[in-house]
Structure formats: structure tokens, C-alpha cells
Amino acid sequence: MKIALIQQPCEIDRNSNLQTATEAIHEAASLGAKLILLCELHTTRYFCQMEDPTNFDLAEPIPGPTSAQLGRLAAELQLVIVASLFERRAAGLYHNTAIVLEQNGHIAGRYRKMHIPDDPGYHEKYYFTPGDLGFGPIDTSAGRLGILVCWDQWFPEAARLMALAGAEILLFPTAIGWDLTDDAAERKRQQDAWITIQRAHAIANGIPLLTCNRTGFEPDPAGHGAGIRFWGSSFACGPQGELLAQASSDHAQILIAEIEDNRSERVRRIWPFLRDRRIDAYHGLLQRYRDDS
């Protein structure tokens, strides 16, 4: 199966961002892609650089205008699209939500980001209520998709839970970048760590993984911070963590990769990790910390 990651910079104007994505998806379809992954919050700038209540105006219901527009596109091109939206669920209740548009244009399912970051430049705890749907893969014509979002990628628990629930591919819409006040060595460590830990999720669970990040520089609208230089580098890897394709760090790109159907079955036979998990000794994973130790 051919997949495509739509790595793009995001502008202030929603329609322009969706137009960019739509053109890229058309091109990906013409190249044979049957599964499309967009980057995190691809209809807007990364508005979480500052806390501003007017930004809640950017949220939309699901179903809503963007799910409808991308649903029509999925139906037109006969493929599956994984999109990432700022979901308005109720007044004062918002989520960072990924949705899947099926080939028939319908919403196959949604995932609400479970792990919410909050750091200088990434004020997500202000905007996003932590997800309450758990770690559930979504069945589609392109396989059972384990969709997680950005900060989730630092938590092996999230990937494992998706795999234990039968996910066949892990997918991560992402928005992560550099603080340019960090030196070059620190920037490289951060980017390497981001690649490494996601490849490790593929390895630990014996399934392929797709991650799609935005590119471009976005200034801090408040003028306090140095802004974020999103580092792109979207990639696809196989069930041994082997890189199948990787995008540049600094420009828009349609990254195509081929996911081999039976590779997970073969890899899990040589590395039968699921057989050997010590579930009798994992109860500590449900604790915040072992203060008694």
C-alpha cells in the first residue's frame, strides 16, 4: 500500500492552508497513495504559542466544515485521509482531535489527543482538554489505524496500547520545531530524539509508523518568544524501525512510501515481544511515581 505524508507550512488563512493540502492530496492520489496523513492542526498557524481566548474562534465542530470538505475529497479520490483539527465540543470544551475520512466521504472515527503538553511556546493545556476516548484504533479500508497526536509520541504507553488494541500502523500528526535560541547541538539532539523514539515505537510493537510534521517559521504573536522553526522531517518507518522515506527539514513535501502488507507478521515472528510481556509485574505503570522506593 502506498501512503503519503503531506508536509506543509501553515499560514494564517484557513482556506489557503486547506487549498495547499488539497492540491498535495490530489498529487499524492495521482502517485497512487491510498492513505494520506496531514500534519497537526494543518488548517491554522500553531496558535498555542500564546494564550489568547480569541483563538477559540478557530475551533470547529466535528462533523463540521473541514471534515465535510476533506470527506468530499476522500470520496472524490477514493482514499483515506487522516486530518487534525481543533475540535469545539461544547462551549468551554475543546480538543486536539484527529479524524479519519473514509473513501465514502464519511468520518470513520476520531482520536482526541490524550497527552497534552505545556511548555513555553506550546501552551496546549490552555486550549485542549485531555482526550477522553482512550487509545482506540480506527478501522478503515486502509487498515486499522492507531492514530496518536504529537506529544503522544514521547509516551511508549500510547503506542503500546494502540498495538495491543490491534493497530496495524501508527500515525502521528505533529507540530514540533526548534527554538532558535537553542544552540545547534541542542537542536540536533531534540530532532534526533524525536526521530529515535518514534522509530522505537515501531520496533517495540512490530508495526510501521508514519509521522507528519509541519515546516516553516512562525513568529510568536505575543512577541515574547523567539517563535518556532518547525523542523519537518516527516518520515515513514517499517516494523523494525527502518526508515522507508524521510522529508526535508525545511520545505513543503509530499512524501510517498510503500508499506509492505505482511512485514509485521514476519517481524513479530522473529521478535515475539508480545509473547513475553510481564503483565503480572506491570501494575506500577498505573502509578504516577513509586514514592516508597
Q: Determine whether 48 is an active site residue.
A: no
Active-site position among 10, 34, 39, 40: 40
Task: Report residue 7 CA to chain centroid gap.
Answer: 11
39 is catalytic: no
Q: Round to whole Å and give the CA distance between 21 and 6.
A: 7
The residue (of 89 and 268) whose beta carbon lies closer to its own copies is 268
Buried/exposed 55-81: b ≥16 CB within 10 Å, e otherwise: beebbbebeeebbebbbebbeebebbb
Catalytic residue among 10, 39, 48, 150: 150
Q: Where does this chain bind its own copies (CB under 8 A)?
A: 114-117, 119, 130, 134-137, 151, 154-158, 160-161, 164-166, 189-190, 192-193, 196-197, 199-201, 203-204, 240-242, 270-274, 276-279, 281-290, 293
- We find the least distance from the C-beta atom of residue 111 to its own copies, in angstroms, to be 12
Closest approach of its own copies to the CB of residue 290, in Å? 4
CB of 196 to its own copies, least distance (A): 5
Q: Where are the beta strands (DSSP E) in the chain?
A: 2-7, 35-38, 80-90, 93-101, 107-112, 138-140, 143-147, 169-174, 177-178, 209-213, 215-218, 228-231, 235-237, 243-246, 253-258
| In the complex, least distance from residue 13 CB atom to its own copies, rounded to whole angstroms | 32
Our answer to whether residue 157 is catalytic in this structure is no
Residues assigned a catalytic role = 40, 113, 150
